[in-house]
Structure 1
Amino acid sequence: MKNIALTIIATLFCSSLFAQAAAHFTTSGTVEYEKRVNMYAIIKKRLSNDEGGFATQAFENYKKTQPQFKSLKSTLTFTGNKTLFTPIEPTEAGNSWFSDMPEGKQQNTIYTDLNTNVATSNKAVFEEKFLMKDTARKINWKITDETREIAGYTCRRANAVIMDSIYVVAFYSDEIPVSGGPESFTGLPGMILGVALPHDNMTWFATKVTDMTIPENQMKIPAKGKATDYKGLEATLKKVMKDWGNWGQSYLKIFLL
């Protein structure tokens, strides 16, 4: 009996070692994201006080030629606990009165050093470029037991509220032990592969993860634009948009996201 027990223990121990050896964690590579924006919903909310006006008529024409959901692509490159989020320019430019709405664009190129918790962002605000360097956004995540699969990875859900009013749902995978994510979403115990802003009608979800070695020279920190930090950019935008009403408030929120 003693020999049988020792054999069982040895077998279990070896199985555990094999399982650990088989486990693979992605620590360097790229994540491809698709951003989807419900333009109809966003424009409708923006025009709530323009019933029958010029903008409402423009919206009706927009719906005849443009899809409800706008799709945009981006890439997150990561290695050495550093990430670089880079938008991919769309192949077709919009030709509508609503084409310049910031919700339907990707304004930010963001380099985040997760070791120092510092983010450097190149931000396009209409025709002007800002270079914002500041502490990475601190997000008080609440992790749940809900899971789903994204791009072949098992992800766990987490919820948060940022900027006082934006409700965020995120899905992260600890199979990629890097606390990064698309745009400025970071701070979970694994890579964020999905983000939804359900009340703001937009999502970012990974479509592909590539496990590969990334050369250091590929992780280029943004360097162009008018130097500022988060508070400086916020003050500048508030000053410019103070008379823009609801449109200005919405633009302010998306530019600071």
Structure 2
Amino acid sequence: MFKFISTNKTVLNGMVLFISLQIYSQYGNVTYTNEASLSFYFKTMKENDPSKFQKFEQMAEYEKEMMGQIDYILKFTYEKSIFKPSIQGDENKQLLKTKQTEGIFYNGPQSNYFYTNRRFKDYNVQLDPIKWELTSESKEILGYTCHRALGAKVYNDSITSDQTIEAWYTRDINVTHGPKGINGLPGLILEAHQGGYHFYAEEIDLDSKQVISKPKKGEEINEAEYYKLMRSAVKN
């Protein structure tokens, strides 16, 4: 009897170890396209102050055009991920400049931020969490069953954003990562919509091993402060 219990305990421990190795060995990368629309800032301006928007309409449309030309890549392990534009050397200077201002998003066990250089200054922007609501809706993306979730940023642990984030994640790839700092769901995010960004996974490679390091640091600033600072660049 004692041998039977011991054997089963050994088998159970082996199964736990096997499952743990399977989980923690998860890695790969995802390529996304962005079907850009007007940014949340310009969209709100257009709805609330059409006369003001007319002054910036050309700028808003140009921003949308540039953003729609950018592909992105998410590289991930079980614990860490890094998300950034896919840079091609033969692209025009303006597109490359736009990509560089997009920044690099890093997600790790104790860090969730993005690094960018704006106005000739490096910033290390600490990202606020997203409060998620899981729904029962599902659909297939690239052969994976994905589930819909709706979320909103929670700034300073108390202020909930009025901008809704929509994400479609698959439990078949057991990591919590996604594009542009959109993460925290029980599976890899293959489609996401936030403001003027509309990310769609085009290719998934689970055979590509990744070595992920934190980007270099800049001036630390929280997310709300950073976007307030960037909006101040658009003068009345």
State whether TM-score is above 0.5.
Answer: yes
2:135 corresponds in structure 1 to 144
1:92 corresponds in structure 2 to 92
> Given the two structures, how large is their TM-score scaled by the length of structure 2?
0.68
Equivalent of 1:153 in 116, 122, 144:
144
Deviations 1:125-171 (A, max 9, x none): 24322123x4x632221111111222221100000122512111100
Contact kept? 1:150, 1:207, Cα under 8 Å? no
Deviations 1:43-93 (A, max 9, x none): 676462148x6655x57xx78xx9698232111111142111121236234
CA 1:94 to 1:154, structure 2 compared with 1: closer, same or farther past 3 Å?
same
Unaligned runs of 5+ in 2: 1-21, 155-160
Cα root mean square deviation, aligned: 3.8
Q: Which has the larger radius of gyration?
A: 1
Structure 1 residue 203 corresponds to structure 2 residue 198: yes
> Given the two structures, how large is their TM-score scaled by the length of structure 1?
0.63
2:70 corresponds in structure 1 to 72
Supply the distance in 2 between the matched residues of 1:131 and 1:222 (Cα, whole angstroms): 9
2:178 corresponds in structure 1 to 181
Contact kept? 1:144, 1:158, Cα under 8 Å? yes
Contact kept? 1:28, 1:213, Cα under 8 Å? yes
* 1:150 counterpart letter in structure 2: I
Structure 1 residue 227 corresponds to structure 2 residue 219: yes
Contact kept? 1:84, 1:109, Cα under 8 Å? yes
Contact kept? 1:122, 1:222, Cα under 8 Å? yes
Deviations 1:204-249 (A, max 9, x none): 111111011424xx3121014x23141xx6446646755856x7xx
Supply the distance in 2 between the matched residues of 1:156 and 1:219 (Cα, whole angstroms): 27
Q: Aligned pairs, how many? A: 202
Range with greater deviation from structure 2 (40-49 or 72-81): 40-49
CA 1:153 to 1:105, structure 2 compared with 1: closer, same or farther past 3 Å?
farther
Q: CA deviation at 1:34?
A: 1.1
Structure 1 residue 193 corresponds to structure 2 residue 229: no
Supply the distance in 2 between the matched residues of 1:128 and 1:106 (Cα, whole angstroms): 11
Contact kept? 2:34, 2:67, Cα under 8 Å? no
Q: Give 1:28-39 correspondences, 5 Å limit.
A: 28-39=27-38
CA 1:241 to 1:55, structure 2 compared with 1: closer, same or farther past 3 Å?
closer
CA 1:191 to 1:93, structure 2 compared with 1: closer, same or farther past 3 Å?
same
Q: CA deviation at 1:37?
A: 0.9
SS at match of 1:49: helix
Q: CA deviation at 1:123?
A: 1.8
Contact kept? 2:36, 2:65, Cα under 8 Å? no
Contact kept? 2:183, 2:189, Cα under 8 Å? yes
* 2:116 counterpart letter in structure 1: K
* 2:120 counterpart letter in structure 1: E
Supply the distance in 2 between the matched residues of 1:40 and 1:86 (Cα, whole angstroms): 18
CA 1:154 to 1:111, structure 2 compared with 1: closer, same or farther past 3 Å?
same
Contact kept? 1:38, 1:68, Cα under 8 Å? no
Contact kept? 1:148, 1:154, Cα under 8 Å? yes
Contact kept? 2:113, 2:181, Cα under 8 Å? no
